[in-house]
Amino acid sequence: MPKVLVVGAGAAGLRVAKLLLDNSIEVEILEASERVGGRVWSITEFADFPVEAGACFIHGELSLLAHSAQAQNIPFSEVEGSFQYIFQGKLKNHKSLLQDPCFKDFLEFREAYHYYEAEESISSVADFLRKHHVPNAYWPFYAALVGAYGASLKDVDMSNMALSSQNWPDGAKNFRLKRPFSELLAPDFTAVQASLRYKKVVRLVEQHESGVRLITEQGEIFEAEAAVVTVSLALLQQNFIQFVPPLSENKQTAITTLKMGKGRKIFLKFKQKFWPPSLAEITGGSVAQEYWVEGKGKNSQQAVLTAFILDRPEPEELLVSLLLAELASAFGLDLETQLKPLFEKSLDVNWGGSPYIQGLYSYPSVQAHRYRRALALPSGRRIFWAGEATDRFLFGTVQGAWASAERAASEILESLR
């Protein structure tokens, strides 16, 4: 029976391994950390419900995730409740902002950017805002919109963002699960469990005529007919894994041209809710692009807000004090006498500093659309590629990781036939 080594046990690695096993291929999955899931990580110790350190939304009613949740009887529902905005430091609701022509321009941009046609001298969304004289006070709304791609206004490319959203196949609705998001990976995990090897940090991938040889940080050697690499783009960019022979020029250009944002989620637990019961999300902050009511739709009364923060280097304690100050001002509360006494604890999940991920997810940067295919192409006859960044249309999502796994599995099956 031919054997394939899978590097990484995130959504892509688990799925590709399962598909290969289903086709009578022996697999061994080498995972650097002590857990499966990678950027899917439901933490159960922080509150009386799981907080989602990584993926938390099912993006799209047509997505593979929605089908999988249905098939597993995992209840999920559309994100409901009020969406509020921080504007010039104060909380505003949608209705009150509708009087403002610049806010209306933002809403129009949100609806229409899919149809954007390239303009001279515009690359990033920030270029677009400058060229169209959008006042600075409104930039945080755009930053929150673009922040969903895990990157800032100056990093996301207008044309590639438009292209990505035009080609997005999975529908516009967003859902949250009532149970831990990691349950979506459970069927794959169960199927491949016996083939998982934890704490195997692959540092060398060597390809020769008849197979592959992988060497870990600890010097262990694994051999097989082929390997599939599913590690994050950021790790590839740091040459964390050495390839022998070296990767083609085209592959290396793809690795350096594509981009992945850095960021973190900080969970803030309070003794009680100081927000209206209907609140679902707040956008437009300057410390956090977005705040979510983490337990929304879950069976809990505990008061947890998630702050989604892009690329800030400050230590947790300092960031928490900045977040509390932003929230106090937004809600018109006195920081010292009203908000701080309600604050209980925080949890900082910094993906940019996570050793085996090193970032959030890939985003629509300049030329990204063109280079995803090059990132996905097999290297020689023995090395295959999967992972969210390799999917042209669904990058940055769990369904993207799954779709990439399906592609890689069929390439491997074809080549081993």
Ligand X SMILES: Cc1cc2nc3c(=O)[nH]c(=O)nc-3n(C[C@H](O)[C@H](O)[C@H](O)COP(=O)(O)OP(=O)(O)OC[C@H]3O[C@@H](n4cnc5c(N)ncnc54)[C@H](O)[C@@H]3O)c2cc1C
Distance between CA atoms of 278 and 267, rounded to whole angstroms?
Answer: 19
Distances (CA, A) of 357 to 163, 201, 238: 26, 12, 11
Among 19, 27, 56, 64, binds ligand X (CB under 6 A): 56
Cβ 158 to ligand X, closest distance in Å?
22
Closer of 34 and 209 to ligand X (Cβ) = 34
Task: Name the segment binding ligand X (CB under 6 A); options: 2-10, 76-84, 88-96, 129-137.
Answer: 2-10
Among 5, 25, 31, 289, binds ligand X (CB under 6 A): 31
Closer of 106 and 222 to ligand X (Cβ) = 222
Among 83, 168, 189, 356, binds ligand X (CB under 6 A): 356
Residues 309-348: x where in contact with ligand X by CB under 6 A, - otherwise, as a string:
----------------------------------------
Beta strand ranges found along 168-225 (DSSP E): 174-177, 196-197, 202-208, 211-216, 221-224
Cβ 87 to ligand X, closest distance in Å?
25
Cβ 354 to ligand X, closest distance in Å?
8
Distance between CA atoms of 159 and 367, rounded to whole angstroms?
Answer: 9
With b for 16 or more beta-carbon neighbours within 10 A and e for fewer, the 210-228 pattern comes to: ebbbbbbeeeeebebbbbb
Q: Which of 228, 225, 251, 194 is nearest to 7 (CA)?
A: 228
Cβ 140 to ligand X, closest distance in Å?
19
The answer to whether 229 touches 59, Cβ cutoff 8 Å, is no
Q: How many residues bind ligand X (CB under 6 A)?
A: 41
Cβ 357 to ligand X, closest distance in Å?
5
Cβ 41 to ligand X, closest distance in Å?
9
Site for ligand X in 199-228 (CB under 6 A): 200-202
Cβ 392 to ligand X, closest distance in Å?
14
Among 59, 179, 369, 382, binds ligand X (CB under 6 A): 59
Q: Which of 182, 173, 229 is nearest to 206 (CA)?
A: 229
Q: By CB under 6 A, is residue 7 in contact with ligand X?
A: yes
Cβ 205 to ligand X, closest distance in Å?
9
Residues 362-391: x where in contact with ligand X by CB under 6 A, - otherwise, as a string:
-------------------------xx---
Distance between CA atoms of 70 and 117, rounded to whole angstroms?
Answer: 38
Closer of 92 and 265 to ligand X (Cβ) = 265
Place of tokens 């390239």: 118
Q: Which of 11, 8, 13, 1 is nearest to 409 (CA)?
A: 13
The answer to whether 6 touches 16, Cβ cutoff 8 Å, is yes
Task: Name the segment binding ligand X (CB under 6 A); options: 156-164, 320-328, 353-361, 373-381.
Answer: 353-361
Site for ligand X in 264-303 (CB under 6 A): 265
Kindly write down the DSSP assignment for every residue of 329-381, as one continuous string. HHHT--IIIIIGGGEEEEEEEEGGG-TTT-SS-EE--TTHHHHHHHHHS-BTT
Kindly write down the DSSP assignment for every residue of 266-315, as one continuous string. EEEEESS--S-TTEEEEE--SS-SEEEETTTTSS---EEEEEEEES----
Closer of 97 and 290 to ligand X (Cβ) = 290
11: left (phi over 0), alpha (psi -120 to 50) or beta: alpha
Cβ 407 to ligand X, closest distance in Å?
12
Among 51, 162, 192, 401, binds ligand X (CB under 6 A): 401
Among 21, 25, 40, 324, binds ligand X (CB under 6 A): 40
| CA dihedral of 164, 370, 366, 261, whole degrees rounded to 10 | 70
- Structure tokens that stand for 396 in this block: 């940055």
Cβ 217 to ligand X, closest distance in Å?
8
The answer to whether 156 touches 125, Cβ cutoff 8 Å, is yes
Place of tokens 């599995």: 409
Residues that bind ligand X (CB under 6 A): 7-13, 30-33, 38-40, 54-57, 59, 200-202, 230-232, 235, 240-241, 265, 351, 356-357, 360-361, 387-388, 396-398, 400-401
